[in-house]
Every structure is written in C-alpha cells, then in structure tokens.
Structure 1
C-alpha cells in the first residue's frame, strides 16, 4: 500500500552555516518577550559552545517597567521606571557576555532604517492583532533577494490570552529545500496574519495596562508566558540543531495542561 511522504521544512542553510551571527529582531519585552529573551540567550550560549557563530539580537519595546510587572514578568524592583528593553538587554549582556542591543521604541518607528528593520529572524511577542498586521506589512516590504546577515528568512509569532496561547513559525521568503526520498519538503510556511487572519480580526484588542500584580494575574495566568516561550524556543532549537522540523508551532491550553502541534502542510497545487 502506497503512503504519502510526511511534509517537513528543512532549515534555511544560512542558519545552519552562517558567516556571521544569525540576526534576530525580538519585538516586545513584556511577559512573553522577557521570557523569550532568556531562552534565546541560552540558545546563543549553546550554539557558541557547538562552534556556531551564535545569535545577534535587537530588542524593541517602548514600555516602562511598573510595579504591576514584577513577579509575572522578569523585572526587579530596582528596574521600576526603566525601559523594559534597556533593563533586559543590560542584564543579559552582563550575564552571558553578549553585545546585544536594545531599542526603547516601537519596531515600526524605524521605517526609514531598513538595516534596523531587517533580520534573519523576526520574533513577535506583541499584545494586539493590529500590531501583528502592521509588522506583517513591514516584513512583506523588506528585500529578500540578498543572502547573509541582513536577509529576512523567518518570522515566529507568539501570543496568549489568560490560559491559552500559541506560537507559529512562518517564512518571509521561499526557503530552498533539498530533494528527499523520505520527506515532502515544504519551502513556504504561511504567516499567522494569512493563515489565521479571521481569528486575529475577531480577537479582543482592548489590552490595557494593569495597575497591580493581582490585577495582571486576573488577565493572564502566572505561567502562561513562560510556557509559551519555552515551547517556542524548543521549536527554534530544533530548527538550528536538527536542520528540519515536522511541526511549525502549537496551540496550548494551560488550564487543561494540553498542547496541540501545528503540522507542516504542503501547498495544494
């Protein structure tokens, strides 16, 4: 009996054998973004130990640390009043010896600076559907013909509500795939703003800052951000270390302790 080959995505070769550190733009330094930054620091440290050039990261966020952020997000009392991006990057650089950069502004404020907008991978940890569509529009305008440090290749989006969340990896350009007798290579992974546009447009975007930690916890579970970022970072780690992925994301429900993977599907002819 003939069976169809499983669909997979082979990692873009530049991520596996880069001439320079792989560039990452991390957008959002809140609950998920702060956790994701720590996970990416660990990935960078591990890649360097394996002889890989590692990662170079830029963090974008215009928000200020408040007392309501303490506990649920990775900030200390001494950092209240500081820009989230500056506080996090300063701490990571001291701890891991990196030279990563913070931007105390929104990502789209660099519309006239293509070099700052462009990275091999963009990771979004933003609160609103509107923000995701704006970032998708920017990524669609970036040049993808070049190769190397400034070539946009992937976009990973992470988001959550109170008890649920998701992560989804997509390609910004067509990623050349090798021929395979065992697998069906998929060169294009659709963006969240394309594949789940109807869900984003129906989402509640009325996200207002919390005045206290107790109020923040009523909006989002204490551990939903770290759970989402850990699963998302694991997917990225597989992208680097395995050279291929069978799944491009997941849906998670922390209330039910469940996670459902999002399989890679070949485009229909």
Structure 2
C-alpha cells in the first residue's frame, strides 16, 4: 500500500476570516520596509472591504524622525523632514485611502504595553525593525501575550517579521500560541508556527554584529541596504498575508530572498 504524505498547511484563525470588525494590526517600524508595508496594507484593506470583509485597522509604531537620508529609499518627501515617520506616513495614508489608522511616536516596548492594555494589542503584529535585539524584545512581549486567556477582538494571533541585509532578506509568519485547525482529509494541518527567534535565533545572533548606526545621506544608506530590497520584501511579505486572507490557508510560512541573484526560497509549513 502506497503511503501518500499529505501536504502540511496552516489554516487562518476563523476569527480573522469573518470578523465583525476590522482586523487590528500593530506595524512596528516605519523605515525602509515599514513605510512600504504600510502602503501595501492600505491596498489590502481596500481590497478586503471590496470583497465584503471588514478590512484592517493599523497602528504604526516608530519614534524616529524623517531626515535627508530617508528621501528616495524610504517613502518620505523633503516637506516631511523633521516630522515623526509614523505621523507623516499615517497622515498621508489616511488622507489618500480614507482610513482612520493611528500613529504612535514611540517604540514598541514592554513598558508601553504595561498591564497589556487591550486597546494597544492587536490580532496581527508585523515587525520591520533593524536591530536583532528589537526582535527578541518583541518575541518576549508576544510570549507574555500567549499567557492571556479568553477571546477578545485584539487577541494576538500572528507575528510576521521582515528582516534584511543589503541585498537579501527574509519574511516569516509565526502564530502567537496555537490556532485551532479544522479537520481535513486532504491536508496535514499545523496549529503552531514557531517565532523567528526560536527557529532562526542562532542565525540572528550571528548577524548581530551588523552596523546599525544611522546614515547621514542616501549614498551612505545604500551601502547598507540596496534601493529595492525593502520594497521587494514588502510586496512579497504582504502577499503572504493576503494569501492567508484570500485562500484561508498557506503552505509556505515565509521565504528567503536574494535580490542580487533574483532567487527566492520558500519556507514550508512544518
């Protein structure tokens, strides 16, 4: 008898597939990748609402201000110089798309969520941060959120992390705790997807020595991150989230990307 192995997949939490209210998102980081992800989320929100879904509601976290080094590679104009990145992006997005999303002019840190204020929690967390330590800090916060029981609108369910070097990067989708899966004869369903800090923690620590000092010019910034690596990651990474909403399940939980060789390697649900 031939033993046919069923493909492993993860089905989206039912509470997000057909919710009574917009799905809440905490987007952490408004720089090269975060600024691009915000626009992609706004487009996704519009598409979801056109399909009868309540859409998304986004809170953008970043305490950095716009400088000349941000023009060109990040989505900022000279007229926004000196403004908080989160405020500039959210104001522009709200005007263009008619949303009422919110900017937070502070970093996403444990002290901000002291007492785990439900109003600042979300169903989906998306991190677009530069430092390795920031990822481990986010993982610590989300691990504590796992311990909170019950069901409520902003209960944490997913974490998507975006990370990159000059010409390569990765995106990984994780679950915050276990997501109940339906019975399936066709698929082998997976209820828990590990955090990037658990699955690739050693690789993250190896790359911890990267230079995170601010760039003073676009030319200097391009020595650290190429012109299109952030926008390419943003489009592919949000496409992963879109697939989860549109199809209801995923077979790939992320990918590695090398823009120099134009190669992408999927990370299978396992």
Same fold (TM over 0.5): yes
Q: Which runs of 5+ in 1 are unaligned?
A: none
CA RMSD of superposed structures (Å): 1.0
Partner of 1:126: 129
SS in 1 for 2:59: strand
SS in 2 for 1:85: helix
Measure the CA separation in 2 of the matches of 1:145 and 1:93.
Answer: 33
Deviation at 1:205, TM superposition (A): 4.1
Deviation at 1:2, TM superposition (A): 1.8
Q: State the Cα deviation string for residues 153-195 of structure 1 (Å, max 9, x = none).
A: 0000001000000000000020000111110000000000000
Q: State the Cα deviation string for residues 46-100 of structure 1 (Å, max 9, x = none).
A: 0111111111110000000000000000000100000000000000000000000
Partner of 1:87: 88
Partner of 2:258: 253
Measure the CA separation in 2 of the matches of 1:212 and 1:60.
Answer: 23
TM value normalised by structure 2: 0.96
Equivalent residue in structure 2 for 1:263, among 258, 262, 268: 268
Runs of 4+ in 1 over 2 A off after TM superposition: 143-148
Q: Which runs of 5+ in 2 are unaligned?
A: none
TM value normalised by structure 1: 0.96
Deviation at 1:107, TM superposition (A): 0.8
CA contact (8 A) 1:171 1:190 kept: yes
Q: State the Cα deviation string for residues 169-224 of structure 1 (Å, max 9, x = none).
A: 00002000011111000000000000001011111243111010011111111000
Q: Is 1:33–2:34 an aligned residue pair?
A: yes
SS in 2 for 1:29: coil
Paired residues, what number?
Answer: 265
Partner of 2:61: 60
Q: State the Cα deviation string for residues 80-136 of structure 1 (Å, max 9, x = none).
A: 000000000000000000000000100114132522542100000000110000010
Partner of 1:112: 114
SS in 1 for 2:140: helix
Measure the CA separation in 1 of the matches of 2:112 and 2:257.
Answer: 33
Partner of 1:78: 79
CA contact (8 A) 1:19 1:148 kept: no
Q: Is 1:171–2:175 an aligned residue pair?
A: yes
Measure the CA separation in 2 of the matches of 1:45 and 1:144.
Answer: 31
